[in-house]
Each structure stands twice: as structure tokens, then as C-alpha cells.
């Protein structure tokens, strides 16, 4: 059952954008929010819809426990959109081989799926010694192979049901502890719950010894727990980076306000991506 903290006065009227088509892992994450689900073809289109208020929320992947962060999501949030993270959703990822009726595993010549799914099932694919082709999503792969002989898709069990395919191999991912973290983007972040996380991005004035250490030291001084740190190219020049931080606490907490003010004095800019409840304990 959905937590009432995430329900508006008219949740049935909310429009929730997700990376489609139907049958993706993103749809599974988006289905945890009440509202009308609307499929989009790209992460960019989802953020654009939320930015233009054509959708109330957008659900996009931001991190996988095996493949790491989704660079496009980070870049769009840092450089192109002033949207806020309202919630995070973490779901286990189970990859399956989907085929048409009459196709056996020995008949497969080409496997279609999203690039990350192909990467996460690398060992299984190598054993089959088949070709791979990347698609925009796992569900798009399932839709594409309908009626095609000697082909397979890596996708969800729901995709198999939607597109009339059968599953001939389950849980084929290289690592069983495969989790993907999704974020729910909206115009505003979440109010304080007392068990929250805040995400920010910042850019140092210049690349100098100890610059990043000074920033991280501000969290250590205040006994604030960092849950993630990552760098991405700033897109300004070679060797120039921006940094993403996740840490426990809400931006309205006095301790968090103090550390953010201190970081602002030491950096070129700081952008708060949002404060929101920590997944798993809401």
C-alpha cells in the first residue's frame, strides 16, 4: 500500500511519466505511485514533460548496484532542469530470456535488450555465443521480437505477459544482488519526515590540492553521513568535474543548512537536487 505522504488530494488525477513502453522496470517503480501512468520514449522526454507540467511526476533510473550511476539522468539534473527529487524507489532487478513460442534456447541467434540489461547479463550471453543488439528499453526489445524466429529479448516477466512471449530462462543476471534506484522528480521535493536524504551537486572554484577534501571535511566535522559521492565531467573543459553528493538529513535541518552555507562559500555553485525520505523505512 502506498504511503499517504505521497498521495495528493486527487491522486487519481496525477500523471506519472515513466520510461516506456509498458513492461519496463521503470514502470514497475512508477506503479508504486498513485496516478495515471504515461509512457515516454526517453529520460529526456520524461524530464521535459515534468518541467512543462504535462506530468506531475517523472520516474527515472539514477543508479544500479552493478552498472553504477545513470549518467544521462545526472547530467540533465545538473545542467538542464531545475526539478526536485521527491522520492526514491529501489527495486530488485530480475532479468529473463523471452522468446516466441517454438523457439528454444539453442535456436537463439540474436538477443535484444537495453544496453544496461545486456551488460548485467554478460556472462550468460557469452555462454550462448550469440549476437546482441541494444534497444531503448527492455520492453521495447520484447515488443520488437514479436513473431521473429531465432531471436530473444532480455526483459521482465510482465513484458512477457504483455507481448505474448514465453520465458525460457529466469534470473540470468551475472549478480543476484541486482538493485536499481529510481527517483521521482517533480516541481518540489518532499517535506521533512525525520528520516531523510538530501542530494546536491557542486562545482569547485578551481582544481587545487585539498579542494574536495575541504568540502567533505565539513560533513565529517558535523558527523553527517555521506551515502554517495560521484564526479561527472563539467562539460566546460577537459579535466573539469562537478560532484554529486547524497547525505543523510533534510535541507531544512539546521545542521544541514549550516553545512550547505559553508559549502556555498567554498564552491563555484551548489545546487540542491532535493530532500526526500530514505527508501525502505517509510
Tell me the catalytic residues: 180, 182
Bridge partners (DSSP) listed for residue 232: 242
Query: Quick one: 147 exposed, middle or buried, by C-beta within 10 A (0-12, 13-18, 19+)?
Result: exposed
H or E element at residue 40: strand 36-40
Provide the 10 A C-beta neighbour count for residue 280.
9
Strand, helix or coil for residue 120:
helix
| DSSP assigned state of 214 | H
| DSSP assigned state of 137 | S
Residues in the chain: 282
8 A C-beta contact, residue 86 and residue 186: yes
**Beta pairing, strands 241-248 & 196-204:** antiparallel
Amino acid at each position: 500500500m502506498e504511503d499517504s505522504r505521497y498521495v495528493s488530494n486527487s491522486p487519481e488525477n496525477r500523471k506519472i511519466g515513466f520510461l516506456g513502453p509498458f513492461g519496463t522496470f521503470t514502470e514497475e517503480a512508477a506503479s508504486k505511485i498513485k496516478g495515471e501512468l504515461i509512457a515516454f520514449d526517453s529520460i529526456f522526454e520524461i524530464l521535459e514533460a515534468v518541467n512543462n507540467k504535462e506530468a506531475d511526476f517523472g520516474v527515472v533510473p539514477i543508479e544500479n548496484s552493478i552498472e553504477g550511476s545513470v549518467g544521462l539522468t545526472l547530467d540533465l539534473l545538473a545542467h538542464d532542469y531545475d526539478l526536485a527529487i521527491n522520492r526514491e524507489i529501489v527495486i530488485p532487478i530480475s532479468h529473463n530470456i523471452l522468446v516466441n513460442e517454438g523457439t528454444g534456447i539453442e535456436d537463439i541467434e540474436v538477443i535484444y535488450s537495453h544496453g544496461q540489461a545486456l551488460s548485467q547479463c554478460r556472462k550468460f550471453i557469452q555462454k550462448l555465443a550469440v549476437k546482441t543488439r541494444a534497444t531503448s528499453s527492455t520492453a521495447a526489445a520484447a515488443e520488437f521480437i514479436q513473431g521473429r524466429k531465432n531471436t530473444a529479448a532480455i526483459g521482465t516477466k510482465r513484458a512477457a505477459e504483455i507481448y505474448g512471449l514465453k520465458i525460457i530462462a529466469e534470473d540470468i543476471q551475472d549478480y543476484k544482488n541486482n538493485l536499481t534506484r529510481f527517483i521521482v522528480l517533480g516541481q518540489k521535493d518532499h517535506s521533512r519526515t525525520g528520516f531523510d536524504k538530501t542530494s546536491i551537486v557542486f562545482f569547485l572554484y578551481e582544481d587545487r590540492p585539498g579542494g574536495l577534501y575541504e568540502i567533505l571535511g565539513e560533513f565529517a566535522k558535523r558527523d553527517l553521513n555521506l551515502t554517495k559521492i560521484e564526479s561527472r565531467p563539467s562539460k566546460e573543459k577537459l579535466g573539469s568535474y562537478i560532484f554529486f553528493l547524497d547525505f543523510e538529513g533534510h535541507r531544512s535541518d539546521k545542521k544541514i543548512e549550516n553545512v550547505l552555507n559553508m559549502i556555498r562559500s567554498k564552491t563555484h555553485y551548489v545546487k540542491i537536487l532535493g530532500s526526500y525520505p530514505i527508501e525502505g523505512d517509510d
